[in-house]
Amino acid sequence: MPEPPMTRPLSLFVFAALLAGCSQGANEPGEAEAPPQAPPAQPSDASEDTTAGVTRLTVYSGDYEALRGSGMVGLGGPGHALVERRLHYSLKAGANSISATGVPASMDVEAAVLRAVTDGVRIESQRYVAPLAGSGPLTDQVIGRRVAVEHTSGGAKQTDSGTLLSATDGLALALADGRVKVIREYDSFSVVDGARLLPQQAELRWTVEAQRGGDADFVLSYPMGGLAWRAEYTARLQPGEQACQLALDGAAMLANRSGVGFADAQLTLVAGTPARAGSGAPQFARSMDARAAAAPMKAEAAMPAERRSGEHHAYVLPEPIRVASGTIERIPLFPSQSAVACERDYVVDSGANDWQPPRPIIEPGFNGRTGQLPVTAVVTFQNTAEAGLGRALPEGRVRVLEGNDLVGESMLAHTAEGGELRLQLARAFDLRAEREATGFRVDRSGRTITESFRIKLGNGGDRDASIRVIEPLPRWSDWQLVSSTVEPVRSAAREVEFVVPVEAGGEAELEYTVRYTWPEGVQP
């Protein structure tokens, strides 16, 4: 006995198979005749932009970490890029309908603009058509269209054709003889001329007016998400006891999670993020595996040209490159700087900050960290030509190596030429520090706070070391160093700095007293 027919949701696979076999039919009665269709600028691969000419792609830094491990993103997702695509069509004189596919789901549709390069061509209207995303949108879009429904009646297969009136409870068809037939249980149905009527991928459509027939060129520009980059640096320290020197290499890590690739992109990387109006929360699509695309670099590869871009720095690649979807590309930023002068320090920092208190702080516990403190290995160098560098360095990660050993990693903020770079690497194994508050007194009538500290330093290694001790002065802006067993090497508004030598296998102490004062009328 044959199985009873079932009412099924419309499968995207079934629709795709059926729509592919639909024949081209005439317009439905009452349907307005469309302008002549120009051949669309459609990529051979729906996920790859292969339109004629070079695509300009400008990608901004920021959001790289959010994109690196994510799947494809939609509108409002992390990352920001500007795209400028060149399109080419053959037009007829008068009104023409043209379209472009291969546009990403993360595109800012409202900001998409088509500009005619060829004279005598005018853009009349623009429309964005979203791809279908389920059987519900399919049935909604074919209401009023001719469909052919296959169903089983009395054990025999049967096909009915007509205009679809409703799909709420089964399918209601208006037949050619005037009857309305409701088919509650069906096997499948096909849409007459469905390939033309139903969008199968995201698409931008325009109506353009041409004064004369012939070839015409256009430029399509739009902002989009799903693309971001971050600088990645490798600093190789020169081994041995001689003066500190390092070699610095810089590259850009470009993440593409937009769902669209660019076959021939003229790429510009901008170090900075422009202010943008929000357009909703991020919408993440189904996750997919990332593919690392680290193509071998030529020995004499041309480096990006650096220029100003508003308040930011931009790096323009000398040759077009392929930016595939779902990949992370590594792109060199500048030639290796092989002889950068540096300093290696050991630092104890008990919690300095830039907060300015609104009144003198007289609570005893407001004095930074005490007890055992870490001693951190730090490499410092100047971003100057005299030091062997002297270029704008975008924000990114720095990996510091000595020989084949990883010494540590540190994050680098955007650093202009002339700035100082301080890389905190790792805790020094052989060095130790202990901080103790030894005195605290408040004199309200004299409007003073007097505070004393002792810092004990130890060196368990076999080499002498100098430890840089950075002490916070957080209680008030007006302070004076009353006494210290070691002369300070630097003073700032909120901190004072000492350098304490510690012999191999030995110990050393730093003691100091600071006095804060405040004017009459200020209440602590």
Distance between CA atoms of residues 361 and 309, nearest Å = 45
10 Å Cβ neighbour count for 408? 18
10 Å Cβ neighbour count for 375? 24
Distance between CA atoms of residues 83 and 54, nearest Å = 11
Please count the CA atoms within 13 angstroms of the CA of 238 that sit on its side-chain side: 14
Nearest to 368 by CA among 523, 512, 522, 524: 512
Cα-based torsion angle of the residue sequence 130, 131, 135, 138 in order, rounded to the nearest 10 degrees: 70
Distance between CA atoms of residues 90 and 327, nearest Å = 34
Instruction: Going residue by residue through the chain, which has 524 residues, state the pLDDT in tens, using 9 for 90 and above.
Output: 444 443 444 443 333 333 333 333 334 433 444 455 555 444 323 233 444 567 999 999 988 998 887 777 777 788 999 999 999 999 999 999 999 987 888 899 999 999 999 999 999 999 988 766 555 556 667 777 788 888 888 778 888 888 888 777 778 888 888 888 887 877 777 777 655 556 667 789 999 999 999 999 999 999 999 999 999 999 999 887 678 999 999 999 999 999 899 988 999 999 976 665 554 433 323 222 333 333 334 444 578 887 776 667 889 999 999 999 999 999 999 999 999 999 999 999 987 667 788 999 999 988 888 999 999 999 999 999 999 999 989 999 999 999 899 999 999 999 999 999 999 988 999 999 999 999 999 999 999 999 999 999 999 999 999 999 999 999 999 999 999 999 999 988 889 999 999 999 999 999 999 999 999 999 99
Distance between CA atoms of residues 148 and 209, nearest Å = 37
Nearest to 203 by CA among 106, 84, 109, 101: 101
Continuous segment of H or E residues that includes residue 349? strand 343-349
Nearest to 393 by CA among 410, 418, 373, 372: 418
| CA dihedral for 444, 446, 449, 451, sign (positive or negative) | negative
Q: Which two tokens stand for residue 215?
A: 């070839």
Three-state SS at 13 = helix
Residues in the chain: 524
Q: Are 376 and 428 in contact (CB under 8 A)?
A: yes
Q: Which two tokens stand for residue 487?
A: 């002369």
Domain boundaries of the chain, sorted by first residue: 1-33+121-209, 341-517
375-390 per-position pLDDT tens digit: 999 999 999 999 999 9
227-284 per-position pLDDT tens digit: 999 999 999 998 876 789 999 999 999 999 998 999 889 999 999 766 655 544 333 2
What angle (nearest 5°) sits at the alpha carbon of residue 236, between those of residues 230 and 239? 165
Nearest to 374 by CA among 353, 352, 350: 350
Three-state SS at 140 = helix
Given the DSSP bridges, would you call strands 113-116 and 431-443 parallel, antiparallel or unpaired?
Answer: unpaired
Nearest to 350 by CA among 337, 362, 367, 338: 367
Nearest to 188 by CA among 20, 4, 1, 9: 9
Q: Are 47 and 103 in contact (CB under 8 A)?
A: no
Three-state SS at 435 = strand
According to DSSP, the residues that pair with 146 across neighbouring strands are: 163
Single-letter amino acid code for the residue at 140: D
- 413-445 in b/e form (b: 16+ CB < 10 A) is ebbeeeeebebebeebeebbbebeeeeeebeee
Distance between CA atoms of residues 236 and 403, nearest Å = 7
pTM for this structure? Answer: 0.71
Distance between CA atoms of residues 163 and 324, nearest Å = 43
Q: Give one DSSP letter per residue of 31-85, joined into a string.
A: PPPPPPBPPPB--SSTTEE--SSPEEEEEEBS-HHHHHT---B-TT-S--EEEEE
Please determine, looking at this structure, whether the domain spanning 1-33+121-209 carries the CATH number 2.30.30.520.
yes
Helices (H) and strands (E) in the chain, counts: 4, 34
Q: Are 353 and 368 in contact (CB under 8 A)?
A: no
Continuous segment of H or E residues that includes residue 218? strand 214-224
Distance between CA atoms of residues 307 and 486, nearest Å = 46
Q: Are 87 and 56 in contact (CB under 8 A)?
A: no
Q: Please, which residues have CB within 8 angstroms of residue 212's CB and are 6 or more apart in sequence?
A: 93, 120
10 Å Cβ neighbour count for 86? 16
Nearest to 425 by CA among 276, 227, 270, 244: 244
Kindly list the distances between the CA atom of residue 185 and the CA atoms of 6, 71, 122, 123, in Å, as whole numbers in the listed order. Answer: 5, 38, 50, 47
Nearest to 216 by CA among 124, 123, 116: 116
End-to-end CA distance of the chain: 94
